[in-house]
Structure 1
Amino acid sequence: MTASAESLYGADDLTHLEGLEAVRKRPGMYIGSTDSRGINHLFAEVVDNSTDEGVAGHATKIVVTLHADGSVQVDDDGRGIPTGVHAKSGLSGVELVLTRLHAGGKFGGSGYKTSGGLHGVGASAVNALSHRYDVTVRRDGKVHQMSFSHGKPGVFEGPGPKAKFTPRSGLQVTGKMKRGERTGTSTRYWYDARYFENGAALDTEGVRNKLRNTAFLVPGVTYVLRTAVDDAISEETFHYPDGLRDMVEFLSPDNEKPVSGTLLITGEGTYRENAADENGVMQSKVERRAEVEVALRWGTGYERTVECFTNTIRNVHGGTHKRGFDRAVVKSVNEAVSKTRGLLKPKEDPPTIEDVLEGMTAVIHVRLPEPQFTSQTKDELSTAGITKVIQGVVERHIKAWTEDRRTKTEAKTVLQKIVDASRVRLTQKQQKDAARRKTALEGAAMPPKLVDCRSTGVSRAELFLVEGDSALGSARMARVSEYQALLPLRGKILNVQKASLGDTLKNAEIASIVQVLGAGTGRTFDLPAMRYGRVILMADADVDGSHIRTLLITLFAKYMRPVIEDGRLYAAMPPLHKVVTKGRNPETIFTFTQREMESTVKRLEAAGKQIVTPVPRFKGLGEMDADELWETTMNPATRSVRRITLDDAEAAEAALELLMGEKVEPRRNWLVESSHRVDQEAIDA
């Protein structure tokens, strides 16, 4: 920066926005946007304050009036905003919450157990962006009134926002409450269109939906919408005593029949999170208690509707409670499917979240103190601990529903629908991928030794690089031909770390691997063109097998590295031993090391069981029969595989060069220096 440029930028160029001025300068930061959604958000902030009174049990009726002059009025019969003088600021409670950001009764925990508005910004932001903001509080037997213009307190000398305004601080007592009149707060505001985009306006249908949704969530409160139409007032009432059950009924498509009744799931749980105390000091692992309420049902259609709410606030983008719900329904449904005879065929994939949600209508509502959102508009809940809370509550209820004899038949009908949805999804995906694979392979002759899988999804397809023809026989019988392909390798492939590119591509085994994968090599390797979602190296569990795996990993690391970087290269882990017990109910346990086998035998003998001796040891994959190979090495549900990773490319390159490169002396020196690390008992001799 030049001296002249420095002299042009000084302390006077810094801007300090005080009070509500920041809201007027950057309204989108506080209300999400400056289009019609922002205007509707103003309304939501005001009505949510009244709703908090209803949730706390202090309000039973909330009336919203949309006046002909564009103003919005919200009346409730709650306790009324506190009118006393706040000791620290010297302002009345009303002026404090409407003119100061981050002020209100929702920080200390004594005002509200749970609340939708937690930032203390809502009402003051509405005030800042309004030509006129009138508030009337009925409390302590008196009627208190106060007005504001763009957040500044004062007095209007007539009706409407164009009346003469005189700035003046202080809450005024304008009368006494009538006999039998309930306490409460009445708010009326005229938003200033200058802070919003041209054409932006309050969406009446959005207001209606907001009131209807909140009435479902707070069944103890009646909401009334009054709208001025041609010098008359039309009135709609929203009151739903059955709460979320009524909401699911309302949201369910009219053209589909229910497959199940509406499940109402309620419960609570605790979680811990870091939080600041009343002095602003961060406390670790503060215990919170959350209440969960979920209603759901399945219909015959294909549409899915899942609405999420936190403390009555709609979370358009879901969040951590939706994540916990998804995990719970998938896990509990799949457990029920696996326990129900005749639903899933052998080797058939379990349903996914897409299958479970098909035809489902659900409402998720959580109540928790001090929730965290991704933004002021509260579109997405980010409180981490709520995920496990809702997951536990939903899992327990669905498990009980599927096992209860009174609902077991209904549950089985739903499970069958979900399994059918899974099969349809997979069939459609297979048809699409079949066309893709056919296009990719037209004119390309595959090696005759390839045992390919049938047309199926690329992401699901697996290619096993199998050591030897003997293992191929068992693997051919064990595999699922729908998505598991086999390519046998004869002997050890070329060490590509020592060989040139020309010699590498001349090698028949390597050429077969490259051709079958169909994505090229080196810099031109095209990962999306690869024909299989996973490549699994399946070699014997001996020294030769380890050498073959090492050579193959070296090949992928040097010429097809994206396969490793994308996490799609795996090494199978076949067992070394088969421990079998004698008796009526023989038990079979596969072990992977000599030490594991010996400890397993000791444990079983200590339990009083007899072992078939000598313990069989597999010298190679070819010694296993098809069932053993499937169960231990090829079945995605029971097998163990190691993902080959490349966390540090530079270190990996150095290791490959040291262990597999042309220079013998560095490798010999490393072996000698590292000899102390060898576990003599683990040597497979």
Structure 2
Amino acid sequence: MTAATTPLLEEEQSYTARHLSVLEGLEAVRKRPGMYIGSTDSRGLMHCLWEIVDNAVDEALGGHCTRIDVTLFADGSVEVRDNGRGIPVDIEPKSGLSGVELVMTKLHAGGKFGGGSYAASGGLHGVGASVVNALSARLDVAVDRDGRTHALSFRRGVPGVFDGEGPKAKFKKKSGLVEAGRVAKRVTGTRVRWWADRQIFLPDAEISVEELHARARQTAFLVPGLTVAVRDERGEEPAEEEFRFDGGIAEFTEFLARDEAVCDMLRFEGVGHFTETVPVLDDQGHMTSAEVQRELSVDIAMRWGRGYDTTLRSFVNVIATPKGGTHVAGFERALVQTLNEQLRETRLLKNGDDPVTKEDALEGLTAVVTVRLPEPQFEGQTKEILGTSAASRIVAQVVRKELRAALTTQKRAQKQQMRAVLEKIVAAAKARVAARTHRENQRRKSALENSALPAKLVDCRSDGVDRSELFIVEGDSALGTAKLARDSEFQALLPIRGKILNVQKASVADMLKNAECAAIIQVVGAGSGRTFELEAARYGKVILMADADVDGAHIRCLLLTLVHRYMRPLLEAGRVFAAVPPLHRIELTNPGRGQEKYLYTYSDAELHKTLRDLEKRGKRWKEPIQRYKGLGEMDADQLAETTMDPSRRLLRRIRVEDAEAAERVFNLLMGNEVAPRREFIVNSAAEIDRDQIDA
């Protein structure tokens, strides 16, 4: 027994060089796709599309391309075509491969490594096209150059020829371009069509046309004069959208701004230089370090509005940096410093006042910050954060100079606008200080430590957060019944009177002055806004309990607006619910053994269906059928049975799947702009499903 197991133990304990594996070229991409595209779900699939689109955009940035077409085919493939110069088709001396095959099969190969092909580009690591190729069941490239169309196909990164359409066609390995036809000499461009490899990507991964439209619109804003067309052939009828904007980022900022402007559009432009040490190849192929002079251009469009939300978009060479980076840090630092200096000079801030913060300066601001430079340093292939340190200094210099000039202008109209901006920022600072004071004075650490809870709160005995529930109840009449119906061990009640303040249109200070809003925030006990701490919430569930009528729906909408604006983590954690009280009670006169005497229905349609079923079964009921006009009409046992007993009640969970889309809906339905809301109501009144009114 011992002799038989000894070789196995020696094998398990040995660890030598033969156990090491080396992944070369595109094999590494297929083995670890997440390193290159982030994930293998829809987000990764979209990233592959951006890699190819960005290559075409780089041609547009260089002034060589005026149109990009993106087509989503019914068979799941995607094609990106441009009228740029076309990928080089001549032979690269060191590898012996054509430019097309080199770009598509070799990592870190391309025209963006200081060779002078691109002054500024989005593709920086040279892995975009080759990664897409490696993760495609089939990829076809066609290049128009020098009066000819040059073509080449690949299967999972291997060049060759397919004998038919689609990725399932018979494939034969073959290197080298094929001449597929002739075109006019002035016609140039590149077409790339690929089928994602379902061995790599999840079955439900797909291209989002809404996200594609947003990216196409964004690109058209950032590259004035460029036309980006998107065609979706996956549905019954092909749908096509075309985007072109000649106004640049100023027009982009106007598009993003949702509120009334306090000042005209401000446009800051400037150029800075910096020295960077980069590795370069010498004539002998050796890697050496060299000092390189770089130029960084800054272009910023911004304006303050009367709203309270901040919209700040940042880009590097047309690539979005959603998580910011050094350029955004420089913009924000210079903005705050310059505003504080001007506020002191104009005496809007006294000597003893605290300086305004970044949150104050950004309140109501809509801005687009763009920089262009060769070979920017990003944190990772997904390019979400700019890391080039010099960008912070140069952007700050440009903002400080241009903003100072705008704030000290002598032009009468602009001077009044800048004064309004400064007063708005000071008002934001005062509201922040008032909110902080309120939170510090009103937030309780526990039920025993603070006796300042609202007197109308009917608290529960348990202090266990996971099980405890807070019912926000409409009206005192419903409160009386709910007191008798609740389980006082873990169910707390907070009554509100009528309709609370619409906080989407009100300032923080107005919200804090409102007794109902302040009481709700105080009872939840976790703060509000940016300082909201989900772990500090006193209740595991917050349940909105209002009448099942239009007024009740309006009250729920106002309460959800308060939660969404100031306690959003509760929504994101799925801890906010809407109680669903019944509309009718049917009292059976001849219930069978084991059958409930009372049946409840929640809509007129359900009532009619239930009555038909009872009639078929020979069951009789007492007329008239009771219809509840409000929660106060229910007896305590009825309310407990239908709405409050966890084992029998029906709750509707309120979730936020897309925070940005939810914000747009709240702005539309509850914001200051009346005209868009009226248009929405007129156009959609007949389509709304009242059963989904809380969804």
Please say whether Structure 1 and Structure 2 have the same fold, judged by a TM-score greater than 0.5.
yes
CA distance in 1, matches of 2:305, 2:26: 49
Q: Name the amino acid aligned to 2:149.
A: V
CA distance in 1, matches of 2:189, 2:105: 20
**C-alpha distance after superposition, 1:277-327 (max 9, x if no partner):** 234645365321101111111110111011111111111100010100000
CA distance in 1, matches of 2:22, 2:200: 20
CA distance in 1, matches of 2:24, 2:449: 69
Q: Name the amino acid aligned to 1:67.
A: F
CA drift at 1:7: 6.2
Q: Tell me: CA distance 1:282–1:298, structure 2 relative to 1, closer, same or farther (3 Å).
A: farther
Indicate whether 1:124 and 2:130 are aligned: yes
Give the secondary-structure state (helix, strand or coil) at the position aligned to 2:296: strand
CA distance in 2, matches of 1:344, 1:314: 36
Which residue of 433, 451, 456 corresponds with 2:440? 433
Report the equivalent of 1:267. 270
Report the equivalent of 1:148. 154
CA distance in 1, matches of 2:446, 2:154: 70
Q: Given the two structures, how large is their TM-score scaled by the length of structure 1?
A: 0.62
CA distance in 1, matches of 2:263, 2:415: 11
CA drift at 1:198: 3.9
Report the equivalent of 1:412. 419
Q: Name the amino acid aligned to 2:40.
A: T
Q: Tell me: CA distance 1:45–1:439, structure 2 relative to 1, closer, same or farther (3 Å).
A: closer
Report the equivalent of 2:101. 95
Q: Name the amino acid aligned to 1:187.
A: V
CA drift at 1:369: 0.8
Report the equivalent of 2:644. none
CA distance in 2, matches of 1:369, 1:71: 32
Q: Tell me: CA distance 1:163–1:353, structure 2 relative to 1, closer, same or farther (3 Å).
A: same
Structure 1 gap ranges (5+):
444-685
CA drift at 1:230: 4.0
Indicate whether 1:215 and 2:257 are aligned: no
CA drift at 1:61: 0.6
CA drift at 1:8: 3.6
CA drift at 1:174: 1.5
CA distance in 2, matches of 1:4, 1:431: 69
Q: Name the amino acid aligned to 2:306.
A: T
Which residue of 328, 350, 363 corresponds with 2:355? 350
Report the equivalent of 1:240. 245
Q: Tell me, yes or no, if the aligned pair for 2:323 and 2:384 is still in contact at 8 Å.
A: yes
Which residue of 195, 219, 222 corresponds with 2:200? 195
Give the secondary-structure state (helix, strand or coil) at the position aligned to 1:249: helix
Q: Tell me, yes or no, if the aligned pair for 2:89 and 2:98 is still in contact at 8 Å.
A: yes
Q: Name the amino acid aligned to 2:131.
A: A
Give the secondary-structure state (helix, strand or coil) at the position aligned to 1:134: strand
Report the equivalent of 1:276. 279
**C-alpha distance after superposition, 1:365-392 (max 9, x if no partner):** 1101111111100011111111000000
Q: Tell me, yes or no, if the aligned pair for 1:54 and 1:220 is still in contact at 8 Å.
A: no
**C-alpha distance after superposition, 1:616-636 (max 9, x if no partner):** xxxxxxxxxxxxxxxxxxxxx
CA distance in 1, matches of 2:341, 2:447: 38
Q: Name the amino acid aligned to 1:274.
A: T
CA distance in 1, matches of 2:31, 2:448: 60
- Computing the radius of gyration from Cα coordinates, the structure with the larger value is 1
Please give the residue correspondences for 1:73-472 in structure 2 after superposition, counting only pairs within 5 Å: 73-178=79-184, 182-230=187-235, 232-253=237-258, 256-279=259-282, 281-283=287-289, 285-341=291-347, 343-406=348-411, 407-435=414-442
Q: Tell me: CA distance 1:435–1:16, structure 2 relative to 1, closer, same or farther (3 Å).
A: same
CA distance in 2, matches of 1:428, 1:282: 57
Q: Name the amino acid aligned to 2:300.
A: V
Give the secondary-structure state (helix, strand or coil) at the position aligned to 1:57: coil
Q: Tell me: CA distance 1:441–1:233, structure 2 relative to 1, closer, same or farther (3 Å).
A: closer
Give the secondary-structure state (helix, strand or coil) at the position aligned to 1:193: coil
CA distance in 2, matches of 1:188, 1:77: 15
Q: Tell me, yes or no, if the aligned pair for 2:142 and 2:150 is still in contact at 8 Å.
A: yes
CA drift at 1:3: 8.5
Percentage of matched positions with identical amino acids: 49
CA distance in 1, matches of 2:197, 2:303: 44
CA distance in 1, matches of 2:197, 2:81: 21
CA distance in 1, matches of 2:339, 2:329: 16
Please give the residue correspondences for 1:580-591 in structure 2 after superposition, counting only pairs within 5 Å: none
Q: Name the amino acid aligned to 1:55.
A: L
CA drift at 1:267: 0.8
Give the secondary-structure state (helix, strand or coil) at the position aligned to 2:199: helix
Structure 2 gap ranges (5+):
1-7, 451-695
Q: Return 136-145 or 271-280, whichever deviates more.
A: 271-280
Q: Tell me: CA distance 1:3–1:240, structure 2 relative to 1, closer, same or farther (3 Å).
A: same
CA distance in 1, matches of 2:213, 2:31: 30
Give the secondary-structure state (helix, strand or coil) at the position aligned to 2:238: strand
**C-alpha distance after superposition, 1:153-196 (max 9, x if no partner):** 011111111111111110011121136x5201011011112212
Q: Name the amino acid aligned to 1:97.
A: V
CA distance in 2, matches of 1:442, 1:211: 55
Q: Tell me, yes or no, if the aligned pair for 1:65 and 1:227 is still in contact at 8 Å.
A: yes
Aligned-residue RMSD, C-alpha: 2.3
Q: Tell me, yes or no, if the aligned pair for 2:147 and 2:187 is still in contact at 8 Å.
A: no
CA drift at 1:12: 2.7
CA distance in 2, matches of 1:108, 1:357: 37
Q: Tell me: CA distance 1:438–1:176, structure 2 relative to 1, closer, same or farther (3 Å).
A: closer
CA distance in 1, matches of 2:251, 2:10: 70
CA distance in 1, matches of 2:237, 2:373: 41
CA distance in 2, matches of 1:139, 1:217: 27
Q: Tell me, yes or no, if the aligned pair for 1:108 and 1:278 is still in contact at 8 Å.
A: no
**C-alpha distance after superposition, 1:42-98 (max 9, x if no partner):** 000000000000000000111111111111111100000000001000000000000
Give the secondary-structure state (helix, strand or coil) at the position aligned to 2:74: coil
Which residue of 16, 19, 33 corresponds with 2:22? 16
**C-alpha distance after superposition, 1:412-463 (max 9, x if no partner):** 10010000000000011011112359999989xxxxxxxxxxxxxxxxxxxx
Q: Name the amino acid aligned to 2:212.
A: V
Give the secondary-structure state (helix, strand or coil) at the position aligned to 1:277: strand
CA distance in 1, matches of 2:245, 2:324: 24
Which residue of 45, 51, 63 corresponds with 1:57? 63
Give the secondary-structure state (helix, strand or coil) at the position aligned to 1:272: strand
Q: Tell me, yes or no, if the aligned pair for 2:222 and 2:249 is still in contact at 8 Å.
A: yes
Report the equivalent of 1:30. 36
Q: Tell me, yes or no, if the aligned pair for 2:143 and 2:150 is still in contact at 8 Å.
A: yes
Q: Return 103-112 or 133-142, whichever deviates more.
A: 103-112
Q: Name the amino acid aligned to 1:120.
A: G
Q: Tell me: CA distance 1:34–1:229, structure 2 relative to 1, closer, same or farther (3 Å).
A: closer
**C-alpha distance after superposition, 1:586-640 (max 9, x if no partner):** xxxxxxxxxxxxxxxxxxxxxxxxxxxxxxxxxxxxxxxxxxxxxxxxxxxxxxx
Give the secondary-structure state (helix, strand or coil) at the position aligned to 1:362: strand
CA drift at 1:233: 2.6
Report the equivalent of 1:641. none
**C-alpha distance after superposition, 1:649-682 (max 9, x if no partner):** xxxxxxxxxxxxxxxxxxxxxxxxxxxxxxxxxx
